[in-house]
Structure 1
Amino acid sequence: MALGRGRLIERREQLGRSSGEPSFDSDNTPLDAGVTSLVRATLNTTSSTSLAIMATTAGQRPTGAASVPAADVNRRPPKSKLSKGPGNPGRRKIWLVISTYGPIVGKVTDVSGRKVAVFRGIPYAQEMNRNHRFEPSRRRVMPWKHTLKAFWDGPSCPQPRHPSGHPVFSTTSQSENCLYVNVWVPLCEDGARECPRRTTVVYFHGGDLLRGSNSMPAYDGAALSGLGKVIVAVPNYRLGVFGFLNGKVKGMQPNLGLGDQYLALDWIRNNSEAFGGHPGDVVVYGHDSGAYSAGLPLFSPALKRLGVTKAILSGGSPIIATVFPSNGTKWEDFLKNVGCSHKFFDNTLQCLRKASPEKLIAAQSLAPASVGIVHPHTLLPRSPSEFLRLAQNLSGVQVLLTSTLPEGLDEVYSPVDDSVGRTGGAYPRMPERTLQDIDAANTKPQLITLFKSPAGIRQPPAAPPPSSVGFQDVFFNCPSVLFAQRACELGAEVFHVIIGQQPRFWKSAFHFKANSSYMGDVCRILKAI
């Protein structure tokens, strides 16, 4: 298949359980060769550090580091090298790198016989606390005084519990001081001291701007790093009202979570050489709301300094329809729930800073419209749709869009989830938050009626109901296709892969009858579960 610049190439891969086809529960189920070729063609680079292998090898959990003594090397590594450091209390092999802020040691694990150095809980910003709540994150200035032992995940950012309760979405303890990044680095093969510079993949997790953490098992980057021979970095960023407060308060800036993400991306690029990468060879990967963040630097003039030219967008795009405008009435409801009504306007920010994280999260759950992306703003002087319309040239940009056949089914059949204003199968709050946005986008009235279905559905039928199809089209499929078409018109290389495969954990997590899941594409790429 010829893959020319400025073309949208789409391939559907619906994998089933019929005779001769692979079982979705197998640990060694490969992707179809068609998907493999598309992924290889999309992100192949001249440095031979492409992501091609990420879709061709079987996903397995890391089996743990080998119990071998560490080498007696503790010095600044030359370029393109990683040095083995002294031993640690676990008596496992560790790895030392010299970042711009000082030495960092991490543990070595094994992924299908390939060694990966794992660095957890690296701070990429200055410490955050209640005194700095609702302020932009700040770049680190001073190096750490001692060698940083990056053996453990940092705290997760404050967030409500995932409605499924499944362990795959479990997080570490929560703290407002949560701006940490986890990094996975493939080691040179055959014990070599030097190996080619690696591509760096920076992953922004999804979660409707409300949930997620790099400590979640779903976002472990060891398998992608070891099998794909790429560096993987997954940062935390502030969530909910802490990072995306959708209201006007004197002295407070919006879109703080976006600022966290781009500060993390900048930190990773500046330190990529220490981990064996190259600052000019970075792929930004995002899922759901993370896809919104990952796609913006491709065409936003305010973010061009980040130098992003390659992106993977799973289940979302920069023009995703779930970015809501500010709602004054709902914002006032939020302030009342916290006890910081606008009648004390000059003291609102101080009042919000004094409130406990638990109180803010509870108030957010009662007023879901208090969370969202705000524009115009420094990072977003225009809406993404307007940016894309005015863009002149995207030549040299490569984008891989991935989605799943049941995209959005988690929204339809999720348990009651007040924190985002929706209830499984019913959408009783959708008319006030979501359907108005659909109608404002000139959606045909017939589509809106598809959302009016009886409440309380927990088990989906064998075929997706019309309501879920409408939800998929409005919030996922149409925005992604429109983004792809416009990007192609501007000269970008765009590929679209649709996955119909279910991760192994999905039945136990949500009891879906469908043979695929809305996170199937993420799982197939990260290979972590």
Structure 2
Amino acid sequence: MRRLLALVTGGCLAMTACVTQAAAQPPTAPKPRPSIVKLDSGRIRGVDDGTVRTYSGIRFAQPPLGRLRWKEPVRVAPWRGVADATKPGRQCPQADKGKQLGGEDCLFLNVTTPAKASRKPLPVMVWLHGGGFLDGSGSMYNARRMAGQGEVIVVTPNYRLGAFGYLALPGLPGSGTFGLADQLEALRWVRRNAAAFGGDPGNVTLIGQSAGGMSTCALLTSPATRGLIDKAVMQSGTCTLNWPAGTYAPVPDTPPFTPYASLKTSRDIGLAAAKQLGCAAGEELECLRSKPVSELMKINETFGASLAHGTPLLPLDPAQALRTGKFLRVPVISGATRSESNGFVAGTAQAGIPVTAENYPALMKNAFGEQAGKVMREYPLKAFSSPGLAWATVSSDRAWACPTLEGNEAMAARTTVYAYEFADAKAPNIAGIPSDFPLGAQHASDLPYLFDLDGEAWDGLTSEQWRLARQMIGYWTSFAHIGRPQAVGAPAWHAFTPSGQTVLSLKPTSQGGIGPIDLGDEHRCAFWRGLSN
């Protein structure tokens, strides 16, 4: 799967924000001042720039090194003096274009608060980054606009990735869920320390995109989350997502998969990976613990979709838990982008594997078997400007939009859900794909509207797009405050119910503006439901 992700975006991972942009220089600001906060583990020194206060690289758990590799996170030890919190901590081990980045001592988080707030205590929003469970970090997402405009506290933690976060082996406690356990430890840290930043430990919203959204949804189904969160936001990451063969990206021989795996499957993956590194049967754990990070990176790509269920943290497959109502009943915002798969298909074509009129039938057969003919009649090549766009539409509808709609229906039967679709057809080229393929509102293209990626506002957004960004931040942060999304100058956002399936389309005024849509009709979900029956 790791090789597939690299192919899809030519080196930029498909499930995170690959920042390729001209730097937008911020205006001259007052000289930053130090800001000291006392935590339950010790004092830290951050920075106050007059608009926001930022505290970076705060250790929230002990380093998962040595005997702590592949163990549940251990609460951070107290320190003396004042710890520096002015620069990000190390990201967790990951690869970028074949180069190893980060290190195991990576359990850090970052906190952004408004420098001045009209009200206190403030709600806390905990952001789980995307990256296919293989890369990314909390520090990539500068939350100054969200914190300043919305008067919220934003926390962006790291969590263990790849083999370090999701290895499973027979007899290994915590198998397949170490990354999830890190996220829970960050939430426990927030409960203990939110008040130190002026936050309300009783008003915590968990929010994530892509792998972070899938983690957020999984945590809704975990017994360990009870008492730690009060609301949730899932962006391109509901529990019910699933990809038939080739629909994640049209690469030959790619199997169907979901974000989650059974404990048995995860253990089988772990045993195979250990064997690949020369570990003897029955000695896998000790053998792998003796390996340096560089050696473990050789098997890291194996663990991109192996968050394990049938475990203490995830007793049920999160998709099953959502469908059967066995999840935490908190208010939810849930949605996706309109053209999720366009960037994946364009990236695959850029890597030399385009969708063509000749291979389109084979892709259909591989994905849908005996029902391929029905799908081809529903999505004929003549109805699209290119075979690639035809396949991207099939994938966006079948693998993303309709499973998201299903997840929203399951949640709305039992709790309050606000459903959306990000639909800016001229959204930023988030992966920097040099292609004339119509990328539209591709996967992760909503991120620059909420965050300054790698610390920089996205250069090139129009005034209309910046207005949409302010409205989205307004919706997201008002939801954190009061459990209902509202934004100045934006339409009312009504709850999604089984009988009145209101989905709010988020797009600039020149494209019709924000307003309700029939998501099922737009993405042909009745057809897909009939196909699966």
Which amino acid counterpart does residue 381 of structure 1 have in structure 2?
A: P
Deviation at 1:138, TM superposition (A): 1.0
**Judging changes above 3 Å, is the alpha-carbon distance between structure 1 residues 423 and 177 closer, same or farther for their aligned structure 2 residues?**
farther
Residue aligned with 2:415, SS: coil
Cα distance in 1 for partners of 2:97, 2:344 equals 13
Contact 1:400–1:497 at 8 Å: present in 2 too? no
- Structure 2 distance, partners of 1:398, 1:521, is 21
Query: 2:176 aligned with 1:254, yes or no?
Result: yes
Residue 179, structure 1, aligned to residue 179, structure 2: no
- Distance in 2 separating the partners of 1:435 and 1:244: 32
Asked whether the equivalents of residues 138 and 158 of structure 2 are also in contact (C-alpha less than 8 Å), the reply is yes
Contact 1:245/1:371 (8 A) holds in 2: no
The one-letter code sitting in structure 1 at the alignment partner of 2:345 is: V
Please tell me whether residue 359 in structure 1 is matched to residue 295 in structure 2: yes
SS at match of 2:226: helix
Secondary structure of 1:334's counterpart equals: helix
Change (3 A) 1:505 1:144: farther
1:513 and 1:266 mapped to 2: Cα distance?
43
Shift of 1:461: 6.8
2:49 is aligned, of 109, 130, 134, to: 109
The answer to whether the aligner puts 1:506 opposite 2:430 as a matched pair is: yes
What is the Cα deviation at residue 298 of structure 1? 3.4
Q: What is the CA distance between 1:228 and its match in structure 2?
A: 1.9
Contact kept? 1:500, 1:517, Cα under 8 Å:
no
Query: Residue in 2 aligned with 1:155?
Result: 90
What pairs with 1:178-217 in structure 2 (closer than 5 Å)? Answer: 178-188=106-116, 195-216=119-140
Alignment partner, residue 225 of structure 2: 303
TM-aligned CA deviation for residue 510 of structure 1: 4.9
Alpha carbons 2:138, 2:156 under 8 Å: kept: yes
Indicate if the aligned counterparts of 2:336 and 2:404 stay in contact, CA closer than 8 A: no
1:470 to 388, 394, 399: 394
Q: For residues 339 and 506 of structure 1, do their structure 2 counterparts lie closer, same or farther at Cα, with a shift above 3 Å needed?
A: same
Determine the C-alpha separation between the residues in 2 that align with 1:273 and 1:198: 9
| Post-superposition offset of 1:527 | 4.7
The 5 A counterparts of 1:458-497 are: 465-497=389-421
The equivalent of 2:515 in structure 1 is none
Q: d(CA) in 2 for partners of 1:515 and 1:162?
A: 25
1:340 pairs with 265, 279, 286, which one?
279
| Secondary structure of 2:70's aligned partner | coil
RMSD: 3.7
Give how far 1:215 is off: 2.8
* Aligned equivalents of 1:249, 1:208: Cα separation in 2: 26
Among 308, 315, 327, which residue is 1:381 paired with?
A: 315
What's 2:12 paired with? none
Structure 1 residue 414 and structure 2 residue 354: aligned? Answer: no
The answer to whether the Cα contact below 8 Å between 2:169 and 2:285 also exists between their aligned partners in 1 is no
Aligned CA distance change for structure 1 residues 394 and 178 (closer, same or farther; 3 Å): closer
Matched, 1:399 2:312: no
Residue 144 of structure 2 corresponds to residue 222 of structure 1: yes
Q: CA deviation at 1:445?
A: 4.4
Report the 3-state secondary structure (helix = DSSP H, G, I; strand = E; otherwise coil) of the residue aligned with 2:45. Answer: strand
**1:213 maps to amino acid:** S
- TM-score normalized with structure 2 length: 0.67
Distance in 2 (CA, whole Å) between partners of 1:331 and 1:103 is 40
Instruction: Give CA deviations for 1:322-377 in whole Å, capped at 9, x if unaligned.
Output: 324326765554223322143xx1x2111111112122112233xx3675111100
Aligned to 2:345, the other structure's residue is in SS state helix
**1:430 corresponding residue in structure 2:** none
2:158 aligned with 1:239: no
Is the contact between residue 332 and residue 341 of structure 1 (CA under 8 Å) also seen in structure 2? no
Contact 1:119 1:182 in 2 (8 A): yes
Question: How far did 1:239 drift?
Answer: 0.2
In 2, Cα distance between the equivalents of 1:507 and 1:302?
35
Q: Is the 8 A contact 1:393 1:491 kept in 2?
A: no
Three-state SS of the structure 1 residue aligned to 2:94 is: coil
- The alignment partner of 1:406 has SS state of coil
Shift of 1:496: 1.7
Q: Percent identity?
A: 26
* Distance change in 2, residues 1:279/1:513 (3 Å): same
Matched AA of 1:234: T
Once residues 227 and 195 of structure 1 are traced to their aligned partners in structure 2, the CA distance between those partners, rounded to angstroms, is 13
Per-residue deviation at 1:471? 2.3
Checking the alignment, whether the CA contact within 8 Å between 1:286 and 1:312 is kept in structure 2 is yes
> Partner residue of 2:445?
520
Q: How big is the shift at 1:95? A: 1.2
Deviation at 1:484, TM superposition (A): 0.4
Measured in 1, the distance between the counterparts of 2:134 and 2:327 equals 33
Counterpart of 1:374 in 2: which secondary structure?
Answer: strand
Cα distance in 1, alignment partners of residues 123 and 366 from structure 2 = 39
SS class of match (2:138)? coil
Q: Distance in 2 between matches of 1:214 and 1:364?
A: 20
Task: Return the letter of the residue paired with 1:261.
Answer: Q
1:390, 1:437 → 2: CA distance?
30
TM-score (norm. length: structure 1): 0.67
Q: Which residue of 2 aligns with 1:71?
A: none
Amino acid at match of 2:389: P
Q: Deviations over 1:445-477 (max 9, x none)?
A: 458989xxxxxxxxx977852322232234322
Count of residue pairs the alignment pairs up: 404
Unaligned runs of 5+ in 2: 1-19, 243-257, 357-362, 378-383, 459-533
- Which residue of structure 2 lines up, in the alignment, with residue 138 of structure 1? 74
Quickly say closer, same or farther: Cα 1:463–1:132, change in 2 above 3 A: same
User: What displacement does 1:285 show?
Assistant: 0.7
Deviation at residue 493 of structure 1 after TM alignment = 2.9
Secondary structure of the corresponding residue to residue 519 of structure 1: coil
| TM-aligned CA distance change 1:482 to 1:62, over 3 Å | farther
- Over 3 Å counting, the alpha-carbon distance change for 1:335 and 1:149 in structure 2 is same
What is the identity, as a one-letter code, of the residue corresponding to 2:397? D
Write the distance in 1 (CA, Å) between the matches of 2:137 and 2:385: 32
Task: Decide which of 76, 95, 101 is 2:35's aligned counterpart.
Answer: 95
Measure how far apart 1:156 and its partner are.
Answer: 0.6
Matches of 1:320 and 1:468, distance apart in 2: 16
Show the 5 A alignment for 1:3-152. Answer: 63=27, 66-67=30-31, 92-109=32-49, 115-140=51-76, 142-152=77-87
Give deviations 1:415-463, integer Å, cap 9, x for gaps. Answer: 699xxxx986579xxxxxx999977xx994458989xxxxxxxxx9778
Structure 1 counterpart of 2:233, from 299, 312, 334: 312
The secondary structure found in structure 1 opposite 2:237 is coil
Q: Distance in 2 between matches of 1:314 and 1:131?
A: 35
> Is this contact kept in 2: 1:65–1:107, CA < 8 A?
no
In the TM superposition, residue 486 of structure 1 has moved relative to its aligned partner by 1.0
Q: How far apart are 1:119 and its partner, in Å?
A: 0.4
Question: Which residue identity is paired with 1:66?
Answer: P
Q: Are the equivalent residues in 1 in contact too, given 2:309–2:315 (CA < 8 A)? A: yes
Q: 1:231 to 1:196 in 2, by over 3 A?
A: same
| Alpha-carbon distance, 1:186 to partner | 0.4
User: What's the counterpart of residue 18 of structure 1?
Assistant: none
Q: Is the 8 A contact 1:300 1:387 kept in 2?
A: no
Q: Could you list the runs of 5+ residues in structure 1 that have no partner in the other structure?
A: 1-24, 28-58, 68-91, 166-170, 428-433, 451-459
CA gap of 1:406–1:103, structure 2 versus 1, over 3 A, is same
Paired letter, 1:335: A
